[in-house]
Amino acid sequence: MLLKIDCQNPDCGTTYQIESAKIPLHGGKLTCRKCQQKINIPPRGELEKA
């Protein structure tokens, strides 16, 4: 299942599609390739409910 993760920088607006199996159960961080800001990824269970 692909999940959409948006960059949290309002000036960037980049969206990433990440396979849910690659996200750790406890969540994690992703660095935006465009603006280099850290994006917090919530735990996998919370993302799949949304």
Q: What contacts 21, CB < 8 A, 6 or more positions away?
A: none
Rounded to two decimals, the pTM is 0.68
C-alpha angle with apex 36: 40 to 25, nearest 5 degrees? Answer: 25
Give 41's strand partners.
28
H/E element holding 1? none
From first to last of the 50 residues of the chain, give the pLDDT tens digit: 888 999 999 999 899 999 988 888 888 899 999 999 999 988 876 655 65
| Number of other residues whose CB lies within 10 A of the CB of residue 24 | 9
Task: Check residue 31 and give its pLDDT.
Answer: 95
State the Cα–Cα distance between residues 50 and 32, nearest whole angstrom: 22
